[in-house]
Amino acid sequence: MTKTVWEDRVNRRRFLAGSFVTGFVGAFLALFAHATPQSPAALPDVDPHKAFGSKNAPVAMEVFSDFQCPACKTLFTTTNRRLMDDYVTSGKVYLIHRDFPLPMHAYSRIAARYARAAAQLGKVEPVEQALFQNQEKWEQNGDVDGTVAAVLSPAEMTKVRALVKGGTLEPLIDKDYVLGQTYSVNQTPTTVFHCKGQTYPYSGLMPYDVLKQFLDQLLSQK
Amino acid sequence: MMQSSPLNARRVVIWIGRLVLGGIFIYAGFSKLLMPNTHLWPMFVLKFSISMNISSFAQQVESYKMISPEASQVVAHTLPFVEIALGLLVLIGWRLRIWATAITVILVGFLAVVTRAYLLHMDINCGCFGTPEKLTGLTVVRDGVFTALALLMTVFAFIEARQPHPWSVPEKANIGSSRESVS
């Protein structure tokens, strides 16, 4: 009799275990099954000064970033250069930098303006590098101007300041921000991949080895 | 006829603890692996989604500035799976005392880390679940409540394990007593 009681308990536990596992797998599929690649869309409002590589590349990457975001700094310093060397210059990836200044970062919009102005002079790379590498300094005192001036000539800096004060750059930043909201960007960095009509937005920091595997898989699709 | 197990306050707390903490741990593990990036198909996209989410979680662990970046990677790659396993084990109730103790130890650790970050006024994300969530006083209170529930569940599980269970009483004694009552 005791054995029957014990078997009854074991069977009840097995039934409970099976029910829970089935239930959670079902809940998992129901909760996440809707998360499929989004419908394709043409790339709007691409600033040619902040886009790199061939427009006809099989993969396009839109990187929404904030100059005051530590993760964006890590992405830029660890991934961007290798991505440019391995995929962008060879025509495999079309890379677009999009501005997405987060509201809680006091100076990120100012930094975005300076970077945009430098981009129009063809100096986007040294200025972005200076801004990210000195992020801890200028986010304390707000001295974006001094940080940018350190890597540009006085003549270039005069033009940059004129562009920043001119007010023509703000609508470009706003367009990028609105575009990010259509992709439901709520953190930076967020990267949106476009390949063969499919769109994959990804939030968070990408280690380069992981990104490489993903890009290779995307590129190998037929 | 078999008696049902007696319903007392300790057993109610144990059941509440198993359901609440088991469910939360399973959700915490799943969300760390599958949120915010939830692309599931094809398989390489799913693998990339999970890698991205783990990478974001590692960054959140590192932001507490308590362990090295390498150790943060180890934590990020193992903790979600541990949470899912512990959640399932506690829900099922197999070897409850062991897994309830493990959950309590983990929650005490979480509470200590979160409290330290809050007292140091660290402006970071909690990292408790997959989506970004600011670390506030409410986070500390919430973790405190879960830790208290886990502690109660564990203590009561040990106490209940020492009580004689009605099902352990052999039915022969019951049959013997019923025959005596008939005669």
Domain-wise residue ranges, chain A:
1-35, 48-220
Q: Give the separation between CA B54 and CA B50, rounded to whole angstroms.
A: 6
User: Is the separation of the CB atoms in B130 and B140 below 8 Å?
Assistant: no
**pLDDT tens profile A154-207:** 999 999 999 999 989 999 999 999 999 999 998 899 999 999 989 999 998 888
Least confident window among A183-187, B2-6, B87-91: B2-6
| pLDDT at residue number A27 | 62
> What is the reported pTM?
0.78
Average pLDDT, chain B: 87
Q: Give the separation between CA B47 and CA A211, rounded to whole angstroms.
A: 11
A101: left (phi over 0), alpha (psi -120 to 50) or beta: beta
Residues of B in contact with A202 (CB under 8 A): 37, 39, 48-49, 52
Q: What is the CATH number of domain A48-220?
A: 3.40.30.10
Sign (positive or negative) of CA dihedral A27, A31, A35, A36: positive
Q: Do A33 and B40 touch (CB under 8 A)?
A: yes
Q: Do A210 and B52 touch (CB under 8 A)?
A: yes
Of B30, B37, B59, which is closest to A71 when you measure between CB atoms?
A: B59
Of B34, B39, B171, which is closest to A37 when you measure between CB atoms?
A: B39
Mutate to test the interface with A, among B2, B26, B55 (most CBs of A within 10 A): B55
Q: Which residues pair with B137 in a beta bridge?
A: none
Q: Give the separation between CA B108 and CA B110, rounded to whole angstroms.
A: 5
Q: Give the separation between CA A152 and CA B180, rounded to whole angstroms.
A: 104
Least confident window among A11-20, B85-94, B97-106: A11-20
C-alpha gyration radius of chain A: 24
Residue of B nearest to A184 (CA): B36
| pLDDT at residue number A172 | 93
Q: Do B39 and A17 touch (CB under 8 A)?
A: no
Is residue B54 predicted with pLDDT exceeding 70? yes
Could you give the C-alpha distances from B92 to A210, B88, B157, in angstroms and in order? 36, 6, 14
Is residue B29 predicted with pLDDT exceeding 90? yes
Q: Do A2 and B170 touch (CB under 8 A)?
A: yes
Residues of A in contact with B91 (CB under 8 A): 20
Q: Do B40 and A36 touch (CB under 8 A)?
A: yes
Name the residue ranges covered by the structural domains of chain B: 9-162
Mean pLDDT of B140-146: 96
Of A9, A21, A206, which is closest to B52 when you measure between CB atoms?
A: A206
| pLDDT at residue number B182 | 42
List, for chain A, all residue ranges whose pLDDT scores fall below the cut of 70: 1-10, 20, 24-42, 222
| pLDDT at residue number A137 | 93
ipTM of this predicted structure: 0.73
Kindly state whether A210 is in contact with chain B, defined as any CB-CB distance less than 8 angstroms: yes
Cβ neighbors of B154 (< 8 A, separation 6 or more) are B97, B100, B101, B103, B104
Q: Do B45 and A213 touch (CB under 8 A)?
A: no
Of A9, A200, A206, which is closest to B45 when you measure between CB atoms?
A: A200
Residue of A nearest to B174 (CA): A1
**pLDDT tens profile B58-84:** 989 999 999 999 999 999 999 999 999
Q: Count Cβ–Cβ pairs < 8 Å, chain A vs chain B.
A: 81
Mutate to test the interface with B, among A5, A199, A220 (most CBs of B within 10 A): A5
Is residue B27 predicted with pLDDT exceeding 90? yes
